[in-house]
Chains A and B, each alone.
Chain A
Amino acid sequence: MSSASETLMSSTAGKPETTAMALLRRRNSWRAYEIVLWLIAFAMIFAMPSKALILTEITIVALFAVSLDLILGYAGIVSLGHTAFFGLGAYAAGLFAKHYFAEPVTGLLVAGIASGVLGFVTSFLVLRGSDLTRLMTTLGIGLMLAELANQMAWLTGGADGLSGVIIGPILGQFEFDLWGRTGYIYSLVTLFILTWAARRLVNSPFGLSLKAIKTNPVRASMVAIPSRHRIVAVYTIAAVYAGIAGALLTQTTSFVSPDVLAFHRSADVLLVLVLGGVGYLYGGIIGAILFTLLRDWLSVITPQYWMFWIGFVLIVIVMIGRENLARWHTFLPEPLRRAMTRIANWRPGAKIGGSR
């Protein structure tokens, strides 16, 4: 199937198709599981209107995790302070809505830009040193921002948080409702657009060069990949994503507390990503679904001791090995497995997928 589409594409492109380009095109086409995932996500608007709030939370965590995946899964940068961008975006959106303009889409852009600027500036710190240094640097930036938000009470409301944020209707049309349905649709559309953009990004020569840097930075620079530029770029983009996730949180809750900059958020998002799997974008989304539902379910059953159980589940998952969980289908009987593989690799014709 792929060879057929390759010949088709190379004839339309009018030049010989290289192996790398064919690989990218193949990766860029939509997989069945992706389509099903998005269809379910959108069907949830009608299927479970009473769960819109937790769905919104999943969406926001997912976007935050996708952002971390961009730098961790593709460029191999470990970060313990990713919530710095999330929190900055949350505060930027809150302050912007409070003092200037209450329309949320504009707020998202402003928050994205604010976080992007911080990401760009701090990316130069991340360029230095190896993993351990990066852990410490990112952690430090996160802690510094948290303390700033706490101390600048005149701007941020300090420890009490920023209250009195009133968010206007989306594009002047759709009011946020108490049931959270508008919030969910809004967050989901944002997540969809940004994930689509991220897919394009990582399945491009740019994305491929990031993976090269992650695997072996020395060799990457020997084949003339400008690794410093690439890291600065992807770090900035990831910061924009995280900022938008933070802004979504502010806009759907119309409140910002210093908690958005707390360390546990950085740790949680790392957990989410590890749970779902690193380096294929959907890991963040799947991890967010698992983590949030698990936490919600356990904390309803046992409000006092749910942390014990979540820790327990995480250890079990790590002990079994996430790889084993991810390839559970390999343990199925042969005919079933073949059918599964066919489904997983099924993708619609060239119309939706690769050709352009």
Chain B
Amino acid sequence: MFTRRAIIAALSAGVAMATLPAGPSFAQDVFKVGLILPMTGPFASTGRQVEAGARAYIAQHGDTVAGKKIELVVRDDAGTADQTRRIAQELVVNEGAGALAGFGLTPLALAVGPVATQAKVPAIVMAAATSSITEQSEFYVRSSGTLPQSAVPVATWALENDIKKVVTLVSDYGPGIDAETWFTREFTGKGGEIVEAVRVPLQNPDFAPFLQRVRDASPDAVFVFLPSGVGSLFMKQFAERGLADAGIKLIATGDVTDDDILNDMGQPALGAITGHFYAAAHDSPENKAYVEAFKAANKGMRPNFMSVGGYDGMHLIYAAIEATKGDTGGEALLEAMKGLSWTSPRGPISIDPETRDIVQNVYMREVKEVDGELQNVEFATYEAVKDPVKAAAASGN
């Protein structure tokens, strides 16, 4: 009897709760931005940088725009795509988030596509770098950059500087293959020669045997893409194998000499030539202010290219709300974001209205010691580079 009563009690409690208004209610003038990032696990540094970048923007520009109070809701997806998707859904449905942002890796960004499309909220890609992401939903806008965007200028620069024979060495996964493909395409298309294409396992790489293969092929340079983080191990082994002494230059995308960890790489990193869209040493008043504010707020951590993706992503949201004069409907915001252009800490950038992808300068940098710290020092600029993949598709080749 007792339990029957308990069951009835449980049931009626359930019914009572169902009749209560579901979900929290919010004031009209709060605009929530759901920032979903890997804050734990192997990609935690991405999450840390992007979040710090986004927070730096709010700290600099205040939390109110066009009468709306911007509230950042940060969630950890631990780099797991189904978590990203669930959190995105919950943020939209339960928290009433008006925009989603973050996404540390390509699968994490892709998982959110259907939610963004269904709920009609903009999804701002602040870190993931595979070109195809923005094609999967009308609601993606990218504030970071694509990998081919950095790889192609490196190839162009190499050819302009008497590098004719190159070995490519990339991590064996989506972005690595993207980098290899687009570097090779540009390089061989303009008369260069790829001697060998080496792919290194993504997990726990030991570069020694691969570097030996590079050395045996004796190219003019080795083109490298690695996800940021394993760069320091690579640099160490690059020096140990004596590739620099054998006259083999190191050219890479900026992920390898990530500003966040560059300083700890030490001597072996000196002289590496990389192409990327942001360097903490970029010489502009906007960047000086940014780096200073960022370091002050984050115990001296140096901002890297991911943080600037977070920073500019927040700018996109602010500028869009300003342009719509406080209309926070997803479609209105998206329209306002298309074609926006502004000066970011990384230099002049804009959002391509056709592809919703970022158009930005790509800088060639060399690792040098400046005031006792290793820095990516810029020495050449390729202006207003579009994502080469979409540019190629548009021009039909």
Contacts and interface: CB of A to CB of B under 8 A. Distances in A.
A150 B44 CA distance: 22
A43 B17 CA distance: 10
Interface in B80-99: 80-82, 85-86, 89-90, 92-94
Interface stretch (A4-12, A128-136, A155-163, A235-243): A155-163
A100 interface: no
A43 B110 contact: no
Contacts of B79: 259
B75 A259 contact: no
Given A36-B10, A158-B173, A178-B118, A300 B75 contact: yes
Nearest to B75: A303
Given A43-B11, A178-B115, A307-B40, A299 B76 contact: yes
B93 A179 contact: yes
Interface stretch (A50-58, A77-85, A200-208): A50-58
Contacts of A180: 89, 93
A53 B92 CA distance: 12
Interface stretch (A109-117, A247-255, A272-280, A281-289): A247-255
Contacts of B17: 46-48
Given A32-B3, A299-B75, A343-B2, A178 B93 contact: yes
Interface string B101-117: 00000111011011100
B86 A253 contact: yes
Contacts of A50: 22-23, 93-94
Question: Interface size class for chain B?
Answer: 35 or more
A346 interface: yes
A46 B18 CA distance: 5
A164 B133 CA distance: 12
B81 A53 contact: no
Nearest to B106: A160
A348 B74 CA distance: 48
Contacts of B285: none
A57 B90 CA distance: 12
A257 B2 contact: no
A159 B119 contact: no
A145 to B, nearest CB: 15
B86 A57 contact: yes
Contacts of B119: 178
> A-side binding surface: helix, strand, loop or mixed?
helix
Contacts, number: 132
Interface in B340-356: none
A258 interface: yes
Nearest to A260: B82
A180 B216 CA distance: 56
A35 B7 contact: yes
Contacts of B173: 150, 158-159
A346 B3 contact: yes
A258 B81 CA distance: 9
Interface string A24-41: 000000001001100110
A29 to B, nearest CB: 14
Contact of B174 (A57, A160, A254, A339): A160
Interface string A312-356: 000000000000000000000000000100110010000000000
A259 B81 CA distance: 7
Nearest to B111: A255
Contacts of B85: 253, 255
Contacts of A40: 10, 14
B130 interface: yes
Contacts of B22: 49-50
B15 interface: yes
Nearest to B1: A346
B136 interface: yes
B39 interface: yes
Contacts of A255: 81-82, 85, 110-111, 114
B259 to A, nearest CB: 21
B6 interface: yes
A353 B78 CA distance: 44
B3 A343 contact: yes
Interface of B: 2-3, 6-7, 10-11, 13-15, 17-18, 22-23, 37, 39-40, 44, 47-48, 74-76, 78-82, 85-86, 89-90, 92-94, 106-108, 110-111, 113-115, 118-119, 130, 132, 136, 173-175, 202
15 contacts: A36-B3, A39-B7, A40-B14, A47-B14, A158-B173, A159-B174, A178-B115, A253-B86, A255-B110, A257-B81, A299-B75, A300-B75, A303-B74, A304-B40, A343-B2
4 nearest interchain CB pairs?
A43-B14, A257-B81, A46-B18, A161-B107
Given A150-B173, A257-B111, 9 more contacts: A46-B15, A53-B90, A160-B106, A163-B110, A163-B113, A180-B89, A253-B85, A253-B86, A303-B40
